[in-house]
A = this chain, B = another copy of it.
Amino acid sequence: MALIVQKYGGTSVADAEKIRNVARRVTRVKDEGKQVVVVVSAMGDTTDNLIKLAYQVNEQPGDRELDVLLSTGELVSSTLLALALESLGYKAVSLTGAQAGIHTDSSYSRARILRINPKRVVNELEKGNIVIVAGFQGVNQEMDITTLGRGGSDTTAVALAASLNAEMCQIYTDVDGVYTADPRLVPSARKLKEIGYEEMLELASSGASVMHNRAVELGAVYNVPILVLSSFSDSPGTIIRKEVSMEVRNKVRGIAYDTNVSKVTIVGVPDHPGIAAAIFEPLARANINIDNIVQNASIDNITDLTFTVARGDLIKAMSIVEPVVKSVGGTQCVADSTSAKVSIVGTGIQNAPGYAARMFRTLYEQGINIQLITTSEMRITCIISEDRVKDAIQALHQAFELEKVQP
């Protein structure tokens, strides 16, 4: 029998009325004669409130206890959804992460799923139950509760869909799909009917926050089609799946931006082997994620080096880099938090001529200065001044004709 896995986020189950609404949506799939597994997040701001409580009794709460504490949020929402389904006359059963067979490593607060033993889920489905699984959690070898960290419930849903060989994993959220650009900034932005896994990953890591990358990666590995859609409307959503019509369509699939960017420029560094390692190794040890690194061509063996970090990491990054720069004989170290990233994303755009050039020309015609350029297999990113982001993405959206429906 065909099986659908659905996942509902915290805003979709924020109160009793919304939970009843989700229940009605779940029954539609059941009424089509399909089996349904539903993964839920904690209600609204439950998780934040639990974290607040933990900090009231301990300024540095330990991960093991925090994980048990936070896992209760999903238990509450999963039982309430099961109860709501029962009140509509459907058979439903809620399962904890442990009961659903979600086995993880012991990295509390950011556990990785090692394997899923879906025996209990399958049994309950065979009994005719709609199965509700508490998202975001699993158990380690000692049967201690772990949580999966950011994007956890999405990951639970896609992993379950993979292990159950589901037809599709539907991610219900508060946006109704993936757009060619942020519709709040680009009124002509168009919702994509479909997008490839890798394109979605690039869009997300370039700032489009629809789903956490972890779940998309898992979908790509196990080839699980992921449908992103809204629990508050009936609009059709966007399906994330293996590229099918790569050659015929517009290669630019979307435009993303990210304003959580700080730029660090190191001026006058002697250009000899080992200099990059000397700078970036201590940053890695401090767990600071470096986003883009650009090194200018060297003149007289002196070069400039620029990289970007998240704004929250800037002070820490500067405190690490400044002594290093001094010790290697660099001139100075300049921090700048007025920049933002703008990216065009699409499979193969790096190898196709003209995309980069068109992007640069478009920004030039808007009078927007490009501070840095980085590219990947399917992304071209420019760092520009933050106050020009809106102009940039509107112009790029038009230049790449994203408002037009693609085949």
A59-B79 in contact (CB<8A): no
Rounded to whole Å, the gap between the CB of A183 and the closest CB of chain B is 33
Contact with B along A218-252 (1 / 0, CB 8 A): 00000000000000000000000000000000000
Confirm or deny: A75 has a beta carbon within 8 angstroms of a beta carbon on chain B: yes
Cβ–Cβ contact B57 & A87, under 8 A: yes
Q: How far is the CB of A65 from chain B (nearest CB, A)?
A: 4
| Most chain B Cβ neighbours within 10 Å, of A53, A58, A80, A145 | A58
**Known contacts A16-B56, A20-B57, A57-B16; A65/B87 CB under 8 A:** no
Does the CB pair A86–B68 fall under 8 Å? Answer: no
The yes or no answer to A60 lying at the interface (CB within 8 A) is: yes
Whether A96 is near chain B, meaning CB under 8 Å from some CB there, is: yes
Docked complex: A32-86 residues within 8 A CB-CB of B: 50, 53-54, 56-62, 64-66, 68-69, 71-72, 75-76, 78-84, 86
Q: Is the CB of A54 within 8 A of B69?
A: no
In the complex, chain B residues whose CB is within 8 Å of the CB of A58: 83-84, 86-87
Bin chain A's interface residue count. 35 or more
Docked pose: A23 CA to B57 CA in angstroms: 10
| Interface residue? A264 (CB, 8 A) | no
Decide if A94 is an interface residue (CB 8 Å cutoff): yes
Q: How many copies does the complex hold?
A: 2
User: Judging by beta carbons under 8 Å apart, are A79 and B87 in contact?
Assistant: no
Interchain Cβ contacts under 8 Å between A and B, 13 examples? A16-B56, A20-B57, A54-B79, A58-B87, A60-B87, A61-B83, A65-B80, A65-B92, A66-B83, A68-B75, A68-B79, A69-B79, A99-B144
- Is A93 close to B, CB under 8 A? yes
CA distance A144 to B96 in the complex (A): 9
User: In the complex, what's the smallest C-beta–C-beta distance from A20 to chain B, in angstroms?
Assistant: 6
Q: Is the CB of B65 within 8 A of A94?
A: yes
Look across to chain B and name the residue whose beta carbon is closest to the beta carbon of A80.
B57
Closest to A84 in B: B57
A26 CB to nearest chain B CB (Å): 13
Does A19 interact with chain B (Cβ within 8 Å)? yes
List residues of chain B with CB within 8 A of the CB of A69: 75-76, 79-80, 83
Out of B59, B62, B75, B80, name the residue touching A54 (CB < 8 Å): B80
**CB nearest neighbor in B for A64:** B93
Residues B99 and A143 in contact, CB atoms below 8 Å apart: yes
Q: How far is the CA of A144 from the CA of B100 in the complex (A)?
A: 11
- A96 neighbours in B (Cβ, 8 Å): 68, 145
Find the B residue at minimum CB distance from A19.
B57
Q: With A and B bound together, what is the CA distance between A20 and B53 in angstroms?
A: 12
Give A145's nearest chain B residue, CB to CB: B96
A85-108 residues with Cβ-Cβ distance < 8 A to B are: 86-87, 92-94, 96, 98-99
Shortest C-beta distance, A298 to chain B (Å), equals: 52
Given the complex of chains A and B, what is the CA–CA distance between A82 and B99 in angstroms? 24
- By a CB distance below 8 angstroms, the chain B residues around A94 are 65, 68
Complex alpha-carbon distance, A68 and B97, angstroms: 13
Contact of A72 among B16, B76, B84, B87 (CB under 8 A): B76
A sample of 18 more A-B contacts (CB under 8 A), given A16-B56, A68-B94, A69-B79, is A23-B57, A50-B76, A53-B80, A57-B80, A57-B81, A57-B84, A57-B87, A58-B86, A60-B87, A65-B80, A65-B94, A66-B79, A66-B83, A69-B75, A69-B83, A96-B145, A98-B143, A99-B144
B residues in contact with A92, CB < 8 Å: 65
A23 to B59, CA, bound (A): 15
Say how far A119's CB is from chain B's closest CB, in angstroms: 12
A87 CA to B72 CA in the complex, in Å?
A: 22
A136-162 vs B, Cβ < 8 Å mask (1 yes, 0 no)? 000000011100000000000000000
Residues of B within 8 A of A98 (CB): 143
Within 8 Å CB of A71, what residues of B? 75
Question: Can you name the residue of chain B whose Cβ is closest to the Cβ of A60?
Answer: B87
